[in-house]
Amino acid sequence: MKLLLKGGRLIDPANNIDEELDVLTAEGKIATVGQNLSDSEAEVIDVKGKIVTPGLIDMHVHLREPGQEAKEDFLSGTKAAAAGGYTTVATMPNTSPVVDNAALVRALKKRAVGVAKVRVEIIGAVTKGQKGEEPAEMGDMIDAGAVAFSDDGHFIKSAKLLLNALDYLKPFDKTIINHEEETTLVEEGVINEGVISAKLGMKGRPTVAEDIAVARDIMLAEYAKAKVHVAHLSSGRAVEIVRAAKQRGVQVTCEVTPQHLTLTEEAVNPADSSTKINPPLRTKWDTEMLLEGLRDGTIDIIVTDHSPHAYEEKDREYAYAPSGFPGLETALGVLLTDLYHTGKLDLTTIIAKMTCIPAKIFQLPGGNLAVGRPADIAVIDPEMTWQVDPAKFYTKGSHSPFSGRKLKGKAIMTIVGGKIVMKDGVVA
C-alpha cells in the first residue's frame, strides 16, 4: 500500500526541513520526499494547510499491563496514543508483576504486536520488584528488547546500587530513567509544599526533595561516566542543576510534561483529584524555569507521563487518590494552545522534543522522515479548535485537569508503518 501526502507543511527537525513538500510512503517506509510528487498506485491525501511531522514519540507512559488492566491495557492505551498523534510509546515497568525479567519483556512485546495500534517499547525495572534492594536482570532484558530501565514511581535509595547499575549498563549503551524525589522529604505529601499547601492544610512535597535527588544521581553518573535520564522535571532549581551538569559534560538528559509546563499549584482543587500528580504541580517560577530549560536545550524531551486510573480509584478524597491522569490525547493540544499559539515556544522545538530527540536518546528508528525510514507520520491541524471531553477518550482513564478546556491544535491523522491508524479523531 502506498500513501501520498500532498501539499502539507513538512516539519522534520531531524533533517532540518520546514517547507511545503509531498511525502510518498511505500511498503511501510518513506519512499520519496519532494515537490509535486505523483504516483498512480498511491492513495492521495490532501494535507494542504496542515502540518506533517514524524509520528510523535512518548518515552514515559503507563499502559498498566500486566496485571492492572482495569486502569488501562495495550489496546486502549495505544488507541489513545494514536488519537493524540503518537506512533511510538514506551511503557513503564511498575505493573503487577513488575517487568523485571526477560520473559515478561518478551511476552509484552509479543502482546503489543498482536493488539497495539502504535509501536510499543518496553522499559524494564532497575531493581527486582522495584524494591531497590538488588539489581534486576537488565542484560537479559536488553536481549529480550528492553530499550531503557527505570524504577519509576520509586526513588532508588541506595546510591551504591544505582552506581553499580550505571556501571553495568555502560557496555550496553542503555539509559536509566530516574524518578527523583528524596523519599524522607516527601512522605505523605500530596501537593507542592508552600503557600497553597499551608492555606489548604495539605501536607506538601518540597522541591528540595527533587533537587537533592537530581544532584545525587547526576554526580553518580558523572563518577561512572555513564548515562542517566531525569524523569518528569518539575523544579526550577533542578533545571539549573541539570544545566550546570551538561556544561561539565555529564551524560545527563531529562524530560518534562505538558502539565508541569502549563499548570501550577494554583490549579489544585481539593475536591478534584485530577491535579494530584507525582511530582506535584509547582509554582509559576518553576514553570518559567522549565520553559526556559526547553528553549535553551537543557530539557531534552517532552513526555506525557500518561497515568490512567480506574474511575473508582481516582474519584476519592484528594489525599487518598492515586497520582496521575491520562495525557496522550491532550498533550499536543495543550502544548500548541499554551506554548505555540502564545509565542512561548516555536513549533520546530516542540516537534523536535517529541520526535527526533527522544529517538536519538533511546536509539529508536522513528522520529525521522528521511527516505528509507519507517513511515510513522502525524498530520496536525494547528488551527483546529476543540474541547476536552474525557467521555470521548479512548483511554480508560477519565480524570483530567484539562477537562472542559477549549484547545487549539490537534492531530487529525496518525500513520504507523504506512498504515492509517487514526483519521479525524477516529482510531481504526
73 is catalytic: no
Give the closest residue to 366 by CA, choosing from 89, 88, 17. Answer: 88
Assigned C-alpha cell, 219 = 554526580
CA neighbor of 55 nearest in space, from 327, 336, 368 = 368
Q: 187-194 long-range contacts, Cβ below 8 Å, gap at least 24?
A: 189/280, 190/276, 190/280, 190/318, 190/319, 191/265, 191/268, 191/275, 191/276, 191/280, 191/281, 192/265, 192/280, 192/281, 192/282, 192/283, 194/265, 194/283
Amino acid at 298: T
Question: What's the half-sphere exposure (Cβ side, CA atoms, 13 Å) at 227?
Answer: 17
What are the beta bridge partners of residue 122?
A: 91
Bridge partners for 161 per DSSP: none
Side chain identity, residue 2: K
305, 338, 376, 381: the catalytic one is: 305
CA 290 to chain CA centroid, nearest Å:
16
Place of cell 509554582: 283
CB 5 within 8 A of CB 23: yes
The residues annotated with a catalytic role in the active site are 305
